[in-house]
Amino acid sequence: MNTKDLILYTKDLSVLFAEDHDELRESVAEILQSFFNNVTTAKDGQEALELYTQSFKNEKSTFDIVLSDIRMPFLDGVELTREIYKLNPSQLLIIVSAHDDSKYLLPLINLGIEYFISKPINYEEFTNVLLNSAKKISLQSKNTPINKIQIKLSDSFIYDRTTSALLENAQNIYLTKFEILFLQLLTTQVGKIFPNEEVIQHFVSFNETIDAQNIRKLVSKLRKKIPKNSLESIYGVGYKIIAMNEK
């Protein structure tokens, strides 16, 4: 990826980075400073929350992106995410997770986190996530609604991204972890076609393994739970969610 493309989107943005390991925090902050106009670091979740709250309440301006480790003293990444969403439900957060952090991932999915970066941090993956995040912010600033909290699939079906819940006439429909992961990805941008490679990478970020054959099986089972024609397969390309007003 051309770093000039990334800088084009990030040069006017600010980022808050929470990480308790000094060496990693400093090295990642150095990378962030190459792209972002303003980089603020915090040594733990509690300090990050204080910095965020001060910015939000006193200056009435939040950080464009919050980047946080999961396991930190005083306040972990899950609690930090929960507290930030109480202040600002639309805040874009990126979570950095190690392989053995899997027990934290489902609560974060349920909170609505979309972007994860695996440890040890891969530079290419890291910059791609930053680029996607910055592009999303750019689109939102132009009033392009790409990330609705609730996706209406029919008169009776709603998918709630905040709680990862599929509701039929306000009654919860049971979803497996893989179904939640799949729907969370597809509903980040309703109507966008997500290729197999992007689906597979999304699962990898949650330390889960899936291949093209199992994606097809997942789609087949999920279609039995959602309204007809809400999940479209484009042969040889990928999958997309279709909201009610787009049918």
pLDDT digits (tens, 9 = 90+) for 51-91: 999 888 776 567 999 999 999 999 999 999 999 988 888 88
DSSP-assigned letter for residue 229: T
CATH superfamily label, 3-141: Response regulator (3.40.50.2300)
What was the pLDDT predicted at 218?
Answer: 96
Domain 150-246, architecture per CATH: Orthogonal Bundle (1.10)
Model confidence at 245, pLDDT cuts 50, 70, 90, reads low
What was the pLDDT predicted at 60?
Answer: 59
What was the pLDDT predicted at 150?
Answer: 82
What was the pLDDT predicted at 148?
Answer: 55
Identity of residue 187: T
- Residues in a beta bridge with 160: 150, 165
pLDDT at 138 > cutoff 90: no
Mean pLDDT of all residues in 175-185: 92
φ/ψ of 57, rounded to 5, equals -85, -40
Return the HEC string of the chain.
CCHHHHHHHHCCCEEEEECCCHHHHHHHHHHHHCCCCEEEEECCHHHHHHHHHHHHHHCCCCCCEEEEECCCCCCCHHHHHHHHHHHCCCCEEEEEECHHHHHHHHHHHHHCCCEEEECCCCHHHHHHHHHHHHHHHHHHHCCCCCCCCEEECCCCEEEECCCCEEEECCEEECCCHHHHHHHHHHCCCCCCCECHHHHHHHHHCCCCCCCHHHHHHHHHHHHCCCCCCCEEEECCCEEEECCHHHC
| Helix, strand, coil percentages for the chain (3-state, nearest 5) | 45, 20, 35
pLDDT at 143 > cutoff 60: no
pLDDT at 7 > cutoff 90: no
Mean pLDDT of all residues in 17-27: 95
pLDDT at 45 > cutoff 90: yes
Percentage of residues in the chain having pLDDT higher than 90: 49
Which residue, among 115, 111, 142, has the nearest Cα to 127 in the 3D structure? 115
- The full set of domain ranges for the chain reads 3-141, 150-246
What was the pLDDT predicted at 100?
Answer: 67
pLDDT at 180 > cutoff 60: yes
What was the pLDDT predicted at 246?
Answer: 55
Q: What is the mean pLDDT of the chain?
A: 86
Model confidence at 224, pLDDT cuts 50, 70, 90, reads very high
